[in-house]
Chains A and B, each alone.
Chain A
């Protein structure tokens, strides 16, 4: 922002007089030893006496002494605007850091702190931070700190703690000196006594003095002749004689000898010059505004700054409009990317309209790379789920969830022993939810969830991982008890849980037992799980068993014996999976003997020989994903394929 320093405003162009000597000396000292001399330096004066000039001069001089210094000039309003923009963009901390790293901070017009409590405390904090860091702060105001209305006591004492100096109105000599220097700068020459006449007029303000000088310059330029002190007096309405000269003459008509024929026209021309000057320069003001605005929001504004460097930019407004459009597009891209991958969204490319094309590319890449979270398995359709009295509560709850996702039972926790069909039901819910428009259903085992997080931590892309799940319109986790003892995952899940629940997005979990009885689960997670509906799936009843058996046999072999179904369904079974296992053995035996599937064969297989035990060894088991035992095992690692010999195991236990 150093570019905001107007190069015209240096110490060299500042005319020093009695009224401002102290302020100038203090300014010079500060610029030579930033941070160590007077800190803060507070300069106050009435309007048009050179506060801004002096402030910028300090900046220039400091830059000259140490070109590497980070110097920042801004008005309080700009500061406030930048602050608000930063807060709105959620970058309050970055904003503070930015200003705390400034070596020389120049703040203009701090009198506007009145009634801005939050800015006062912000400025107080900043001043303290800068002082502690040995950085210089220079402020200007139109009145001393204690007179700024409604200013925090602490800030008053802080601002008064360095040096408070004022700039008075210039005395006659200074006024003449100022006029001479300005006239020289413009290459205008006046007859002796003209500038003295101007300086002699009561004028408490250098800016007004400049206005008077401008009129004289314009008048001389128009009439191609130099003016004398008397004409100057008339022109500027100084003294009693010629006051209101032009207008009076016009009213009286062209009285002979009263005025030269050029007078009326000259006055007209001076007027037009002023109006046109304002009009033509208006584009600069507009560009300047745009630069300030976008810079305040953290965007690069090179394109606009380039305009200011040119004398005759064409289509200024068009450039500003295109620039604004580009920035808006960047904002869109940034917002889109932020949702997918917050880390990438922080890249500087999203803050530079000149690199819009690059930003588009980055966004496209993120879009491609942002794989949705793992979805439900298509192998578990709801239609294939056998319903009976043992699981009708759970299935009823699932249907209610599908009817009003996120509204009725959120979360829904399916509880039951292993092999009762929790996973099937979970995936079935997922599949149904995924049918919705724009649905992003995350459905996976808790173990996979944990593994993904670990991989994300490892790859330093936790933000990306989070964003991925935050997009989900439903989150379904199988075997939630596996999260036990994994603190980080519990933390992440807790946050994700809250976020999704707030947005009325459906959450479904499965667990082997009531959430509160699960060991290693943080209370906050357990209570949240219990906060929705906990639906239990009991051991399969005959109805369920029959349905499952018929389906499986139907898939396998149409010629199966109806008695077989009865036989198998009547056998006691702890779980559907156990029953499926039995069927599998019968099928296997049938295949080995090349025989038909009959109740007799089943009886022989299941009762005639010692069944290969597959009893649980206690503790929790994961619900092995066994889709259809006839269709093949889906999850190899969850199945025990080779049991060691009984003899070996006995020896093992005797050791």
Chain B
């Protein structure tokens, strides 16, 4: 999928929310869904299990309208976090223009975060994408939990952000940092677009 189509004057950004199970990816999308005017959002597709876990993926299309003469659309996806849905994750990741890694700030979840990050890297590689080249931001979610349960953004940066990508602390349930994260990834994706208009 091409990011920019000059013939039809369309820009379509596919952004994938990635991360371990229960880290809050779908919550991010729900919050965004709630903030987008009705006229600009498509139907949010959510395939969830009875226990409210994402089974397949969530999909939220957002229409940003005409920007600089381009019909601009964002497609936000989440992947199922659970380890055993890796095939789905890989599938969703295909053709992604940018990735938001939603990490769980709880101290006991650190290993899951690391594992998921490694999984992201290997799945990207399966698609022939180097994690160092794809636009990527980190979100440290659940920062609203009691201090004793979570790691600080600085600690999480030390543990997870060894590539020095933009990172955002968030409380997706209440919306803190959700749009900052989205802005961060959009900027990276669009800047990359500037670098390679030829595509």
A binding-site residues for B, Cβ under 8 Å: 221-224, 247, 250-254, 261-265, 267-269, 271-273, 275-283, 286, 311-318
Is B36 touching A221 in the complex (CB atoms < 8 A)? no
Residue of A nearest to B3 (CB): A279
| Interface: B127 (CB within 8 A) | no
A282–B193 Cα distance when bound, in Å, is 9
Question: Which residues of A are found within 8 Å of B183, using beta-carbon distances?
Answer: 268, 271-272
| Interface: B171 (CB within 8 A) | yes
Question: Which residues of A are found within 8 Å of B190, using beta-carbon distances?
Answer: 272, 275-276, 279
A-B pair number, CB within 8 angstroms? 102
| Interface: B7 (CB within 8 A) | yes
Is B197 touching A250 in the complex (CB atoms < 8 A)? no
Stretch at the interface among B46-54, B64-72, B82-90: B64-72
A279's partner among B9, B35, B191 (CB-CB below 8 A) is B191
Is B64 touching A312 in the complex (CB atoms < 8 A)? no
| Interface: B34 (CB within 8 A) | yes
The 3 closest A-B pairs by CB, nearest first: A317-B198, A279-B194, A253-B174
Is A280 touching B35 in the complex (CB atoms < 8 A)? no
- Chain B 3-24 per-residue mask, 1 if CB under 8 angstroms from chain A, else 0: 0001101010000000000000
Residue of B nearest to A221 (CB): B65
Is A223 touching B67 in the complex (CB atoms < 8 A)? no
Is B180 touching A317 in the complex (CB atoms < 8 A)? no
A268–B32 Cα distance when bound, in Å, is 11
- Chain B 128-166 per-residue mask, 1 if CB under 8 angstroms from chain A, else 0: 000000000000000000000000000000000000000
Is A254 touching B68 in the complex (CB atoms < 8 A)? no
Is A275 touching B35 in the complex (CB atoms < 8 A)? no
6 contacts between A and B (CB under 8 A): A250-B178, A267-B179, A275-B190, A276-B67, A280-B194, A312-B9
A277–B9 Cα distance when bound, in Å, is 13
Given A224-B39, A278-B194, A316-B198, 12 more pairs with CB closer than 8 A: A222-B65, A252-B176, A264-B35, A272-B72, A273-B67, A275-B191, A276-B68, A277-B68, A311-B69, A312-B9, A315-B6, A317-B198
Is B194 touching A268 in the complex (CB atoms < 8 A)? no
B162-197 contacts to A (CB < 8 Å): 171, 174-180, 182-183, 186-187, 190-191, 193-195, 197
Residue of B nearest to A321 (CB): B198
Task: Say how far B177's CB is from chain A's closest CB, in angstroms.
Answer: 7
B197's partner among A264, A273, A277, A282 (CB-CB below 8 A) is A282
Question: Which residues of A are found within 8 Å of B70, using beta-carbon distances?
Answer: 276, 280
Question: Which residues of B are found within 8 Å of A254, using beta-carbon distances?
Answer: 174-175
Question: Which residues of B are found within 8 Å of A279, using beta-carbon distances?
Answer: 190-191, 193-194, 197
Is B34 touching A253 in the complex (CB atoms < 8 A)? no
Among the interface residues B7, B37, B72, which one has the most CB atoms of the partner chain A within 10 A?
B37
Question: Which residues of B are found within 8 Å of A223, using beta-carbon distances?
Answer: 37
Residue of B nearest to A218 (CB): B67
Known: A223-B37, A276-B70, A277-B68. A250 touches B191 (CB 8 A): no
Is A261 touching B65 in the complex (CB atoms < 8 A)? no
Question: Which residues of A are found within 8 Å of B37, using beta-carbon distances?
Answer: 222-224, 261-262, 265
Is B194 touching A312 in the complex (CB atoms < 8 A)? no
A279–B97 Cα distance when bound, in Å, is 15
Is B72 touching A313 in the complex (CB atoms < 8 A)? no
Task: Say how far B64's CB is from chain A's closest CB, in angstroms.
Answer: 6
Residue of A nearest to B74 (CB): A272
Is B175 touching A313 in the complex (CB atoms < 8 A)? no
Is A265 touching B194 in the complex (CB atoms < 8 A)? no
Residue of A nearest to B66 (CB): A221
Is A250 touching B177 in the complex (CB atoms < 8 A)? yes
What is the interface of chain B mostly: helix, strand, loop, or mixed?
A: mixed
A254–B179 Cα distance when bound, in Å, is 12
A286–B195 Cα distance when bound, in Å, is 10
Task: Say how far B105's CB is from chain A's closest CB, in angstroms.
Answer: 16
Is B68 touching A280 in the complex (CB atoms < 8 A)? yes
Known: A223-B37, A282-B197. A251 touches B191 (CB 8 A): no
Residue of B nearest to A272 (CB): B186
Task: Say how far A241's CB is from chain B's closest CB, in angstroms.
Answer: 22
Known: A271-B187, A282-B197. A261 touches B68 (CB 8 A): no
Known: A268-B182, A276-B72. A251 touches B176 (CB 8 A): yes
B176's partner among A250, A261, A316 (CB-CB below 8 A) is A250
Task: Say how far A221's CB is from chain B's closest CB, in angstroms.
Answer: 7
Question: Which residues of A are found within 8 Å of B176, using beta-carbon distances?
Answer: 250-253
A318–B198 Cα distance when bound, in Å, is 7
A392–B107 Cα distance when bound, in Å, is 100
Residue of A nearest to B184 (CB): A271
Task: Say how far A307's CB is from chain B's closest CB, in angstroms.
Answer: 12
A264's partner among B40, B65, B67, B179 (CB-CB below 8 A) is B179
A252–B177 Cα distance when bound, in Å, is 10
Question: Which residues of A are found within 8 Å of B40, using beta-carbon distances?
Answer: 265
Is B68 touching A273 in the complex (CB atoms < 8 A)? yes
Is B65 touching A315 in the complex (CB atoms < 8 A)? no
Known: A253-B171, A261-B35. A269 touches B64 (CB 8 A): yes
Task: Say how far A219's CB is from chain B's closest CB, in angstroms.
Answer: 13
Question: Which residues of A are found within 8 Å of B65, using beta-carbon distances?
Answer: 221-222, 269
Known: A275-B187, A276-B11, A280-B69. A312 touches B179 (CB 8 A): no
Is A283 touching B7 in the complex (CB atoms < 8 A)? no
Is B67 touching A265 in the complex (CB atoms < 8 A)? no
Question: Which residues of A are found within 8 Å of B174, using beta-carbon distances?
Answer: 253-254
Question: Which residues of B are found within 8 Å of A278, using beta-carbon distances?
Answer: 194
A282–B194 Cα distance when bound, in Å, is 6
Residue of B nearest to A259 (CB): B35
Among the interface residues A271, A279, A280, A311, which one has the most CB atoms of the partner chain B within 10 A?
A279
A273–B72 Cα distance when bound, in Å, is 10
Task: Say how far B19's CB is from chain A's closest CB, in angstroms.
Answer: 20
Is B7 touching A250 in the complex (CB atoms < 8 A)? no
Task: Say how far B178's CB is from chain A's closest CB, in angstroms.
Answer: 8
Is A312 touching B7 in the complex (CB atoms < 8 A)? yes
Task: Say how far B144's CB is from chain A's closest CB, in angstroms.
Answer: 9
Residue of A nearest to B37 (CB): A262
Is B194 touching A264 in the complex (CB atoms < 8 A)? no
Among the interface residues A272, A276, A313, A316, which one has the most CB atoms of the partner chain B within 10 A?
A276
Task: Say how far B2's CB is from chain A's closest CB, in angstroms.
Answer: 12
A278–B67 Cα distance when bound, in Å, is 11
Task: Say how far B74's CB is from chain A's closest CB, in angstroms.
Answer: 8
